[in-house]
Amino acid sequence: MKPAPFEYRAPESLDEALALVEELGEDARPLAGGQSLIPLLSFRLARPTCLVDLAGVPELQSIRIDDGRLVIGAMVREREAERDAKVEASAPLLACALPLIGHPAIRSRGTIGGSLAHSDPAAELPAAAVALEAELIARSRTRGERTIPAADFFTGFLSTALEPDELLTEIRIMRQSPGTGCAFEEVARRHGDFAMVGAAAMVRVEDDRITEARLVLTGVSDVPVRALDAEATLTAAPFTDEVLAEAAEQTAGSLSPASDIHGSSAYRRHVAGVLVRRAVRAATQRAGVAA
Amino acid sequence: MSMLEVALTVNGEARSGAVEPRKILADFIREDLGLTGTHLGCEQGVCGACTVLVNGQPARACLMLAVQARGAEVVTIEGLAEGGELNSLQRAMWESHGFQCGFCTPGFLMQITALLADNPQPSEPEIRAALSGNLCRCTGYESIVNGVLAAAGHPVPSAHEPQTQEPERSSVA
């Protein structure tokens, strides 16, 4: 398999990269880690006229704490984030999700921004970003910077709110507060494969009661799905097995995932309910509640 | 189509070539550099056969463009032997019968090299997790895992040691 011909540009600053994506327009594609884009090129499912390789753009490479937030540059490799103590301490949900992405050789090349901007319906990072209520920062040469809440960023199958002249530059995440627990659970045919279904859970617990819950499913729709009804159920009453079962049932009942060769719609719904139970239980235990 | 110069270090040697931007790193390694030990199985990042080390990290050579490796230090299966002798990992894999047809072996060895550099004493579950992205279609996983255990200095389960006392069996695998 050989990609169709394309030009290759390697900007060395963010300004240069933004000028290039503006000038080249929709026929060009930014190249981040390439772990999704290069197979698309090899299959000739994507035939851009030019790739703009962001690997040499220094502004996109760092992980830092800024004003109480964890800020991760779009070109930070998944493996690097997985090993970063700031990520582990400030955004444990991200630390739970990262090891589930692909395999080590994929994560050593794949980037945080690349996975988010690719918006694969079964990917882990979009679901984690929605659960974390992360802010995604987009920049264009002419309009400057804008902040897109994760909930508004993923607009459809492999589609995002990014304009053709914009680049995703970083993701900002509020540091997790004490008393919060999180978990990311998924079922895949093989460890490291795209999940058939995944569930991200974050709960804040006070006195054996869940006071705040965020529950997001991946692999069940074109975009990550936040289970708002189940979140309301979890916070409406003291946490018990019955409340958890109701939240799981509510989530499963609200979904209409597609069927494919890996599993039927009914199977995915069932798995979604199971994963909600597992993820919420693990999250509450990590927050310090044994239910 | 414009050609781009790619200069990089491969197995400790400075190498270079002129490539189209669309040239996949694995093809560059095999066709332009003549290092055919890197095998291409699926060419879509699923099988792991083409795994090499890029700046010490495992990477799939089918999921990189050659131009993305400009200036990088790449190690392929040809770079493992030391002074013409198998290195300790290669020897442990040999002694554990850690391959059958051998097609997947280069990718496994490069991934294992990365694992052991990170974690010199991996447990069996850690080994299995680290190798989950490498497919062996002879399905000889037990002997591969035993090879890693041996390379890491762990005792290898005796049931899997070569059974020289048994009567000769058909060689059909």
Pairing of strands A50-53, A28-31: parallel
Helices (H), chain A: 14-24, 37-42, 78-82, 85-90, 92-97, 104-107, 112-118, 124-131, 150-153, 228-236, 241-254, 265-286
Tens digits of residue pLDDT in A177-228: 889 999 999 999 877 788 999 999 999 999 889 999 999 999 999 999 999 9
pLDDT of residue B172: 44
Tens digits of residue pLDDT in B90-130: 999 999 999 899 999 999 999 999 999 999 999 999 999 99
- Considering CB atoms only, which of A38, A102, A104 is closest to B65? A38
Q: Name chain B contacts of A79, Cβ cutoff 8 Å.
A: 57
Question: A196 and A170 in one domain?
Answer: no
pLDDT at residue A5 above 70? Answer: yes
Q: Is A1 in Cβ contact with B44 (below 8 Å)?
A: yes
Question: A271 and A223 in one domain?
Answer: yes
- ipTM reported for the complex, 2 dp: 0.92
Question: A184 and A162 in one domain?
Answer: no
pLDDT of residue B1: 63
**Residue A159 belongs to domain with CATH number:** 3.30.465.10
Question: A197 and A168 in one domain?
Answer: no
For the sheet with B73-75, list strands across it.
B13-19, B4-10, B73-75, B51-54, B57-60
Final residue before a domain boundary, out of A149, A174, A199: A174
Buried b (16+ CB within 10 A) or exposed e, A206-216: eeeebeebbbb
Nearest chain B Cα to A194, which residue?
B46
Question: A19 and A73 in one domain?
Answer: no
Q: Nearest to residue A202, comparing CAs of A220, A175, A242?
A: A175
- Considering CB atoms only, which of A31, A41, A108 is closest to B57? A108
Which amino acid makes up residue A193?
D
Report the C-alpha gap between A165 and A26 in whole angstroms.
Answer: 8
Tens digits of residue pLDDT in A7-46: 999 999 999 999 999 999 989 999 999 999 999 999 999 9
Report the C-alpha gap between B131 and B154 in whole angstroms.
Answer: 17
What domain count does chain A have? 3
Pairing of strands A144-149, A135-140: antiparallel
Final residue before a domain boundary, out of A174, A194, A222: A174
Inter-chain CB pairs, A–B, below 8 Å:
90
User: How many angstroms away from the CA of A67 is the closest CA of chain B?
Assistant: 32
Q: Which domain holds residue A155?
A: 59-174
Q: Name chain A contacts of B1, Cβ cutoff 8 Å.
A: 5
Half-sphere exposure of B69 (CA within 13 A, CB side): 37
pLDDT of residue A289: 59
In the DSSP assignment, the letter for residue B63 is: G
Pairing of strands B13-19, B4-10: antiparallel
Site from B8, B19, B22, B24 to mutate, A interface, most A CB atoms within 10 angstroms: B22
Q: What is the mean pLDDT of residues A67-77?
A: 97
- Considering CB atoms only, which of B1, B45, B68 is closest to A55? B68
Report the C-alpha gap between B56 and B113 in whole angstroms.
Answer: 9
In the DSSP assignment, the letter for residue B85 is: B
**Residue A46 belongs to domain with CATH number:** 3.30.43.10
Question: A199 and A170 in one domain?
Answer: no
Q: Name chain B contacts of A105, Cβ cutoff 8 Å.
A: 48, 51, 57-60, 111, 114, 133
Question: A169 and A64 in one domain?
Answer: yes
pLDDT at residue B173 above 50? Answer: no
Cα–Cα distance list, B93 to A156, B85, B113, B128 (Å):
46, 14, 12, 15
Question: A184 and A281 in one domain?
Answer: yes
Q: H or E segment at B151?
A: helix B141-151
Burial of residue A3 (CB within 10 Å: 0-12, 13-18, 19+) is buried
Domains and CATH numbers, chain B: 4-79 (3.10.20.30), 88-151 (1.10.150.120)
Site from B28, B62, B63 to mutate, A interface, most A CB atoms within 10 angstroms: B63
Tens digits of residue pLDDT in B11-36: 999 999 999 999 999 999 999 999 99
Tens digits of residue pLDDT in A118-176: 999 999 999 999 999 999 999 999 999 999 999 999 999 999 999 999 999 999 999 99
Question: A64 and A51 in one domain?
Answer: no
Tell me which residues of chain B, numbers 90 to 119, contact chain A at a CB-CB cutoff of 8 Å: 111, 114-115
Q: Confirm or reject contact between B8 and chain A (CB < 8 A).
A: no
Q: Return the percentage of chain B with pLDDT > 90, whole number.
A: 85
pLDDT of residue A1: 76
Range of lowest pLDDT (B79-88, B116-125, B162-171): B162-171
pLDDT at residue B163 above 90? Answer: no
Q: 3-state DSSP call for residue A243?
A: helix
- Does a structural domain hold residue A1? no
- Does a structural domain hold residue A188? yes
- Does a structural domain hold residue A68? yes
Tens digits of residue pLDDT in B63-74: 999 999 999 999
Final residue before a domain boundary, out of A157, A174, A191: A174
Q: Name chain A contacts of B44, Cβ cutoff 8 Å.
A: 1, 39, 42-43
pLDDT of residue A192: 77
Total residues belonging to chain A: 291
Question: A123 and A34 in one domain?
Answer: no
Q: Confirm or reject contact between B140 and chain A (CB < 8 A).
A: no
Question: A149 and A120 in one domain?
Answer: yes
- Considering CB atoms only, which of B22, B57, B134 is closest to A5? B22
Q: Is B63 in Cβ contact with A39 (below 8 Å)?
A: yes
- Does a structural domain hold residue A209? yes
pTM over 0.90: yes
**Residue A247 belongs to domain with CATH number:** 3.30.390.50
- Does a structural domain hold residue A2? no
Q: Is B4 in Cβ contact with A8 (below 8 Å)?
A: yes
Question: A187 and A99 in one domain?
Answer: no
